[in-house]
């Protein structure tokens, strides 16, 4: 999917043993950011986790392989002028600490919410206010369903772009990625309608027995008394539960501020907040030192 998405360039570093067999790999993507008059001035990179390794490789050996692969990967990204590199989804907070600090990465606290779906039904975990708002939205004529055409995905994409334009997560991938997710058996795109008009939607991607809520949006202010955003997220959770997935992860809650309306909104569905770290490498060495001093662990 990433290969066919404009301005996204996936890359992977692979570690092999003496017999030529693959023992580890790390996936990354280079995002070309269009700045002025369609001229690309900057590139950003995203590294997905510490990588995948053969089952027989223990924790210590994984750390050694991670160090070797990161040496090659960071050098590759810097050659391609990636002056901002982000690494997310590290399974253990301190894994690869020395390697990442060696390359100038800064650990920044990050909040995620995990919805457990395998032991209890969503209705048992959600707050009474959520259930009440969902029932009110349905009684008022709001309906959430799965998308049925490329045109609906295009319409939802435009809605998501407008929704996130003034929010922290301003980067939205090219529409081609949304279309591919809609065509994949691992992708699920839902839309919320009111009187034939699309007022919200969500994008969910499966990864094994877990799922991730990539995007959710709704015209909440225009229909504030009907809470379409609540219905939109609720439907995504319910459908994920019907597919017998174990968890639904909401990954992009951002920094652990004391007050966050979106975080409180997501937690009202019964999820569990999980503290983690994301590692960032900035091109400016002074900024790296200041950020490390401020967020030192």
- Residue 18 has a CB neighbour count (10 Å cut-off) of 5
Residue 194: the pLDDT is 96
Residue 109: the pLDDT is 83
Could you tell me how far CA 196 lies from the centroid of its own chain?
Answer: 30
In sequence order, the β-bridge partners of residue 85 are 45, 281
Residue 46 belongs to a domain with what CATH number?
3.40.630.30
Specify whether 83 is located in the same domain as 142: no
Would 190 be classed as within a structural domain? yes
Residue 174: the pLDDT is 84
Residue 209: the pLDDT is 92
Specify whether 46 is located in the same domain as 90: yes
Residue 262: the pLDDT is 86
* 192 three-state secondary structure: strand
Range of the structural domain that residue 240 is part of: 113-276
CA 13/CA 65 separation, integer angstroms: 11
Would 211 be classed as within a structural domain? yes
Would 290 be classed as within a structural domain? no
Specify whether 126 is located in the same domain as 236: yes
In sequence order, the β-bridge partners of residue 90 are none
CA 45/CA 161 separation, integer angstroms: 21
| 10-residue stretch averages of pLDDT, the chain, 297 residues long | 66 91 92 62 83 92 95 93 87 88 88 88 94 96 96 96 76 87 94 96 93 92 92 96 94 70 90 86 76 60
Residue 110: the pLDDT is 83
Specify whether 7 is located in the same domain as 130: no
Residue 135: the pLDDT is 96
Residue 170: the pLDDT is 63
Residue 39: the pLDDT is 54
CA 289/CA 113 separation, integer angstroms: 29
Count of domains observed in the chain: 2
């Amino acid at each position: 999917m990433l290969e066919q998405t404009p301005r996204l360039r996936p890359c992977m570093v692979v570690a092999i043993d003496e017999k030529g067999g693959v023992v580890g790999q790390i996936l990354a993507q280079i995002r070309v950011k269009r700045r002025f008059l369609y001229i690309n001035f900057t590139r950003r990179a995203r590294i997905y986790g510490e990588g995948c390794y053969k089952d027989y490789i223990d924790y210590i050996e994984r750390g050694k392989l991670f160090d070797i692969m990161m040496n090659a990967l960071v050098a590759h990204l810097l050659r391609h002028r990636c002056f901002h590199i982000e690494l997310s989804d590290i399974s253990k907070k301190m894994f690869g600490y020395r390697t990442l600090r060696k390359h100038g990465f800064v650990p920044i606290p990050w909040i995620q919410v995990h919805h457990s779906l395998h032991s209890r039904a969503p209705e048992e975990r959600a707050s009474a206010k959520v259930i009440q708002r969902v029932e009110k939205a349905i009684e008022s004529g709001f309906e959430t369903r799965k998308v049925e055409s490329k045109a609906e995905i295009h319409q939802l994409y435009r809605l998501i772009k407008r929704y996130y334009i003034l929010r922290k997560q301003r980067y939205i991938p090219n529409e081609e990625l949304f279309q591919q997710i809609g065509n994949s058996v691992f992708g699920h795109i839902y839309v919320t309608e009111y009187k034939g008009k699309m007022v919200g939607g969500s994008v969910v991607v499966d990864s094994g027995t877990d799922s991730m809520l990539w995007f959710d949006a709704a015209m909440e202010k225009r229909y504030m008394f009907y809470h379409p955003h609540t219905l939109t997220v609720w439907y995504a959770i319910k459908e994920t539960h019907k597919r017998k997935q174990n968890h639904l992860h909401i990954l992009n809650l951002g920094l652990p501020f004391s007050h966050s309306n979106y975080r409180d909104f997501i937690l009202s569905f019964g999820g569990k907040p999980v503290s983690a770290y994301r590692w960032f490498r900035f091109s400016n060495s002074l900024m790296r030192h200041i950020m490390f001093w401020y967020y030192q662990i």
